[in-house]
Structure 1
């Protein structure tokens, strides 16, 4: 070894709390591993232990408090090094941007409270890929460095294992890719000795000091007595200054002082490892999306009800809901590669979080709705003389309060669980209604709902009045909605379905005279996956087509002034795919509600949309950002939307595109102009190329339901407000049927005003220390922006400058004399 290079030996124990075992076994293993690490410290005075995962520390604190005290002492001593700053080591593609913020918020505050420190090094040594906004998320969490292992050298070649990683906003963290493994993996001989010599050779080759991770991993264990004896022997042979028992903190600190200027810069995400994990176990991924949004919606309205009406703020319960969600982000849970029993545990945890959020949300919106002045002249007391469901008296109407969780005004379909003759807004203006089928079959008459288009203020609510028997003549719309047997058409688009296949035959944008698709669309393509394990190790493309759903049955289900719906039912072997194509009278987007009964094994289902553009660019939403990727057919992770935009055929400057938005899918590929969304795949549970026998069980068998939408647009996806349209699909309005009462609140209320269309507000909550409120937002278009933000109920208004893709967290003090301040994710 040269004099300039050094090997930093990082004693750690990779701990999978769930994988080929359930969390209860992981719980026990964490305690045993921590005990072992403390024993090593007594036996070897120079031993240093590195460990991430706030959830693990919390388990030990609650179940082995005497050992937790020992750990606190070792942290203070500097021999037990806290890294990670997140609840566990999560999948780094599927959780939302706000979920990563919550990992930092709850974990770093926990570390600060219990140990007096926060993590300085982001630490995800086994996660299967790393989205491109992680550098900004780390910097806003108090972390300047990052450690990962996957993708390895065989999956992504890079100039250096040590580099600056820069996200789209310009944030930069020093990043190290672990060579070989995070533990004692080696093909022969003493693993620590052989791996240390191999790492030393890399250090010589690259003329740069390296970290070498050692310790029994996956099921815990950590550094052994034999491991440390080997290291001492190597120190005697190579020099104690060359082989150093150390930590990532020390490594990055010393490297920063010596080599920071010469380190290369990487401006991209870090993929691909285990690309099958973007789609495996669809139920868990759908529950994750649902729980993230419901917790955020609950927080917003709980905060409103707390401030306006003194509703107690259930902070501990909401945090518990987030802790469940964050734990299920663990890469072997969220990645869909754990045993079957683990997913019953995940189902229960998501169920608890969804229920916590539902209870909090219901308490908030009902507190607000009960406080709105809805009294009608002539009403003296409540009595159900007119109807067994509604409290309406003397055709005076009955109030329906509709809440909008989003930070912009919306116009959205509202479906009321009652068939009424008329509806007006809070000013008494009639709105158009349509009778639609409800989800019940209660006799011959009680099976119909009422649909209308509600216009709801941002972060606010609006009262509509429903009349059971009294028609309300709405002004006729100038927008036409037409249907034929296989056609949906309005003033904006025409959708034609092919009768014998049910595929989209043509989608015409009438505004531009543009054929949106080049060929058939919404084609259900079946892919053979017999050569894949659960993770899809070594597989980056899924293009082995073996069939398509066909034999279409097409039925017109709804036809009215507001929307029309055609149901297409297709089959493949024993599987059934049902897609309801829905077109509203006042918008160009196509909404599709899907119900799939999947009975295939070792197969994948994709929906294909060939977009009619040239020289196209494929853009994917990633957590709190977006990224362009090549259209080379590789499977890629995405979130609520993906967009393909290019030049229209035969033009040099006319751009056109199609965005695909969804409410629960995370896996896509684009080959040339063909956009495909992965709907489901069915590998064996936790199959790493094992022996396949009659005991094997396959994932995602049975029924799943989800929604997606097609957003055709001229110009860019930014111009088409694709980000907001995706949120509108994922975060629908909340409505409460009310009665007559006096109250202190008006019938229409706007909670926020944001001047810039580029800025989306994602979180509004009470500050963790109780001193004011927290508002988080981000720039969505990739361009600098200035915005004025106003929260009328707090009597606050301020301006802020956003860089491209920048996330900002604002603390709003309770006292109006104190200025709004920008905080980090930890609220410091």
Structure 2
């Protein structure tokens, strides 16, 4: 019985990579024109293309070409696949960001073609989070085509398999592309390579061919090669096909296919952390757009222009989730466009939230005292520290002044150093902890309160802070809820790998340590205390601020790094051999996942939770840190890397005019806690 080889003509398009996004538009137009010409001239050929963004730019720039595409699609010869806005990085975006990636693409396909592809298609993404099967299933997708990690990076039980992110989660069928998603030539060796690792009972495979990026899809030569191969091999049946046609056949053997549970990793571990600005821009764009949507829903007099503007902003964020863009591997010149477009997202959100808040504030009653209005435009409850600088001119903060709530009760607070260095306006910053329900708006007041004694500050001195009964920290260690840990330390490690960190699954151990100056007590009050140290590691200046908060078994470490390294990686290392963790749970996009303590570099989303045999727990929040590796002896968070930009091994790199990534200042915040923490 013949094995059927489904030849899929395809063009993998990188809208941004070694060119700016404007060149991405040109390659999309050129590819679609070329594909239409091939289909016009070859009635038996089929072409496959995904990514809603590609169709959107064609529709907006060449309506005639778009009409030709629709005609071929209606005839069944232009196969719609993928359906997402672009092929994103599937490790670093948030869960809501990936939901939007799919939802925006789905809305586009349904509005233009009347259907959403059942096959998701991310052949070049650098690994796949365990949340993807659920996200795909929720959107109505049943199949998935991927390539990375490849065979040498992750062993899988078959080229075709059933995939669940979690043992009890939804399931999709997956095909892992063999070798490449592009090909300039087709021959017997290419066809037979695609038979590797087919599960027993599966008589079908896919073979991808076509020129990608600026190439234009299938060539006349490729089309003729398929025709010549149709009946050339006694054990193979070669046919023009598409992913949907392939999965329709494989679906019949679903029960015979092996099952894979968990994330699909790893490929290009450097992409988790390299070029941090784009990761911050997309992350903040996701969070701020969610705030803007809440603001719009609560705005008493919204502008009709706001909703379309937010939709456009979401498209920009989803576009820059593209795996090369968010993965940090593009040209420096290409990132200038990226930064500008993500800045536009921030500006849109700022205007939406700020104007909505002022319209809501117009309904507050008049008050003779200065108000501090706090709004939580979110679907999550808020319980944390807030810092705010009220402007009182140059008047002195009166000793009797207090921050009070709507009922006149004093809100515990303290005054802290202002941001400005030119002078010190009173009272500087106000720091206070507040709880707000989702969408809640509260008004606090600055007013004199007679007979209110000042609150006692937390015990503190330079290099030693304490919250009695909760936490203490010094320049060498910290105690949280009865558990003691060394203070985490910075380590600077040689990193000869390329921009992607191809060929490795972890970075070296050891590395140089930071040298620190004497600690200074910079804040002391009833709400929080802080000491600050300046230091140096390698060629980079560093600053760390260590805080404790009243009533919390938590130590906060803020780091500022003025990064000036070449071919180095910076890690924050927490020795934990005394704690002896036995299990580990990491945040991932939209969920969490238990992972092995094996020292492999893994993508991280927001937090990690460690537990030991004595039921001890240590949770660490690190919201703008994107990778971690852990063993029973230590946890290492990857802060920064400094390869040259857009350098791909085996090319030598090291050019004199090459730019190194992430130069300049970067801020990080870590919170270590042993309170009752759950992944939720």
- Into which bin does the TM-score normalised by the smaller protein fall? over 0.9
Alignment of 1:540 with 2:534, yes or no, is: no
Shift of the 546–240 alpha-carbon distance from structure 1 to 2, 3 Å rule, reads closer
1:820 alignment partner in structure 2: none
**1: distance between equivalents of 2:170 and 2:198?**
27
SS in 2 for 1:694: coil
Query: How far apart are 1:588 and its partner, in Å?
Result: 1.7
- 1:600-658 residue CA offsets vs partner (Å, 9 max, x unmatched): 100000001123433511111111111111111110001011121112xxxxxx31121
Matched, 1:561 2:526: yes
SS at match of 1:242: strand
Residue 565 to residue 540, structure 1, CA distance change in 2 (3 Å): same
Partner of 1:365: 357
Indicate yes or no: 2:255 matched with 1:289.
Answer: no
Q: Distance in 2 between matches of 1:615 and 1:375?
A: 55
Separation (CA, whole Å) in 2 of partners of 1:363 and 1:97? 28
1:43-58 residue pairs with structure 2 within 5 A?
43-58=41-56
Q: Give the conservation status (yes or no) of the 8 Å contact 1:303–1:313.
A: no
Runs (4 or more) in structure 1 with deviation over 6 Å come to: none
- Look up the match of 1:101: 99
Q: Is the contact made by 1:164 and 1:265 (CA closer than 8 Å) also made in structure 2? A: yes
Query: 3-state SS of the aligned residue for 2:34?
Result: helix
CA pair 472-155 structure 1, distance change in 2 beyond 3 A = farther
Contact 1:285 1:334 in 2 (8 A): yes
CA spacing shift, 1:621–1:55, aligned 2, 3 Å = same
CA contact (8 A) 2:129 2:263 kept: yes
Residues 179-222 of structure 1 deviation map (CA, whole Å, 9 limit, x = unaligned): 1110117xxxx445431132246559875311111111244421
- Given that 1:412 and 1:455 are in contact with CA atoms closer than 8 Å, whether structure 2 keeps it comes out as yes
Report which stretch shifted further, 340-349 or 613-622: 613-622
Counterpart-to-counterpart distance in 2, 1:475 and 1:145: 66
Deviation at 1:67, TM superposition (A): 0.2
Specify whether residues 202 and 636 from structure 1 end up closer, same or farther in structure 2 by C-alpha distance, changes over 3 A only: closer
1:345 is matched with 337
- Structure-2 change in CA distance of 1:18 and 1:433 (3 Å): same
Kindly indicate whether residue 221 of structure 2 is the aligned counterpart of residue 222 of structure 1.
no
Correspondence 1:551 to 2:516: yes
Consecutive unaligned residues of structure 1, counting only runs of 5 or more, are: 377-395, 499-504, 648-653, 714-718, 724-779, 781-828
Q: Which deviations, in whole Å up to 9, do the C-alpha atoms of 1:693-723 show, x marking residues without a partner?
A: 212211011111232211224xxxxx414x5
Partner SS, residue 698 of structure 1? coil
- Please give the alpha-carbon distance, in whole angstroms, between the structure 2 residues aligned to 1:626 and 1:436: 36
User: Does structure 1 retain, via aligned residues, the 8 Å contact 2:159–2:196?
Assistant: no
Q: CA deviation at 1:491?
A: 2.6
Answer whether contact 1:496 1:507 (CA < 8 A) is retained: yes
Alpha carbons of structure 1 residues 192 and 110: separation in structure 2 relative to 1, 3 Å = farther
1:697 correspondence with 2:662: no
1:622 to 588, 593, 598: 588
The answer for the alignment partner of 2:436 in structure 1 is 456
Moved more, 276-285 or 193-202: 193-202
Tell me if 1:375 matches 2:370: no
**Is 1:636 matched with 2:602?**
yes
3-state SS of 1:439 partner: coil
Kindly indicate whether the alpha-carbon contact (under 8 Å) linking 2:201 and 2:256 is maintained by their aligned counterparts in 1.
no
Aligned counterpart, 1:381: none
State yes or no: 1:466 paired with 2:446.
yes
**2:50–2:82 Cα contact (<8 Å) kept:** yes
Per-residue CA distance 1:542-593 (angstroms, 9 max, x = gap) = 1243311113332110011111111122202320111111211121222222
Give the aligned partner of residue 179 of structure 1. Answer: 178
**1:725-736 paired onto structure 2 within 5 Å:** none
Q: Contact 2:8–2:242 (CA<8 Å) still a contact in 1? A: yes
Q: CA deviation at 1:78?
A: 1.1
CA contact (8 A) 1:617 1:630 kept: yes
Partners of 1:240 and 1:354 in 2: how far apart?
58
Whether 1:506 and 2:477 are equivalent positions in the alignment is yes
* Kept after mapping to 1: 8 A contact 2:199/2:257: no
Maintained 8 Å contact 2:415/2:427: no
Separation (CA, whole Å) in 2 of partners of 1:472 and 1:151: 67
SS in 1 for 2:107: helix
Distance 1:254 1:563, change over 3 A: same
> Structure 1 residues 206 and 545, CA, compared in 2 at 3 Å: closer, same or farther?
farther
Gap change, CA 1:148 and 1:254, over 3 Å in 2: same
User: 1 CA distance for matches of 2:148 and 2:69?
Assistant: 29
Residue number among 546, 553, 558 corresponding to 1:581 in the alignment: 546
Is 1:524 aligned with 2:516?
no
Deviation track 1:480-509 (CA, whole Å, cap 9, x = no partner) reads 7211221111034443333xxxxxx22112
Checking the alignment, whether the CA contact within 8 Å between 1:283 and 1:700 is kept in structure 2 is yes
- Deviation per residue, 1:449-504 (Å, 9 max, x gap): 2222223233211111112xx24665877x97211221111034443333xxxxxx
User: Equivalents in 2 of 1:264, 1:205: separation in Å?
Assistant: 10
Distance 1:681 1:101, change over 3 A: same
Deviation at residue 442 of structure 1 after TM alignment: 4.9
Q: Helix, strand or coil for the counterpart of 1:438?
A: coil
Gaps in structure 2 of 5+ consecutive residues:
none
2:268 is equivalent to residue 274 of structure 1: yes
Q: What whole-Å deviation, never above 9, does each CA across 1:102-143 have from its counterpart, x for those lacking one?
A: 112111111111111111101000001000110000001110
Asked if structure 1 preserves the Cα contact closer than 8 Å seen for 2:585 and 2:594, the reply is yes
Q: Which residue of 1 aligns with 2:677?
A: 720
Q: Distance in 2 between matches of 1:680 and 1:472?
A: 51
SS of 1:74 mapped into structure 2: helix
State the shift of 1:328 in Å. Answer: 0.6
Q: 1:192 to 1:319 in 2, by over 3 A?
A: farther
Distance 1:507 1:323, change over 3 A: same
| TM-score (normalizing by structure 1) | 0.78
Q: Does 1:610 align with 2:575?
A: yes
Please report how far the alpha carbon of residue 310 of structure 1 lies from its aligned counterpart in structure 2 after TM superposition.
5.7
Number of positions where the alignment pairs a residue of Structure 1 with one of Structure 2: 668
Distance 1:645 1:474, change over 3 A: farther
Alignment of 1:422 with 2:393, yes or no, is: no
Q: Of residues 446, 466, 476 in structure 2, which corresponds to 1:489?
A: 466
Residue 266 of structure 1 aligns to a residue whose secondary structure is strand
Question: SS of 2:532's equivalent?
Answer: strand
The structure-2 alpha-carbon separation of the partners of 1:222 and 1:193, relative to structure 1 and needing over 3 Å to count, comes to: farther
**Deviation of the 1:84 alpha carbon:** 1.1
Q: Matched residue of 1:655: which SS?
A: coil
1:196-215 alignment runs, 5 A limit:
196-200=191-195, 203=198, 207-215=202-210
The answer as to 2:237 corresponding to 1:242 is yes
Q: How does 1:57-72 map to 2 (within 5 A)?
A: 57-72=55-70
Distance 2:132 2:655 in 1: 41
Of the three residues 147, 153, 173, the one matched with 1:149 is 147
Whether the 8 Å contact between 1:487 and 1:494 is mirrored in structure 2 is no
Assess if the C-alpha contact under 8 Å between 2:554 and 2:671 holds in 1: yes
The verdict on how the C-alpha distance between 1:573 and 1:430 changes in structure 2, with shifts beyond 3 A counting, is same
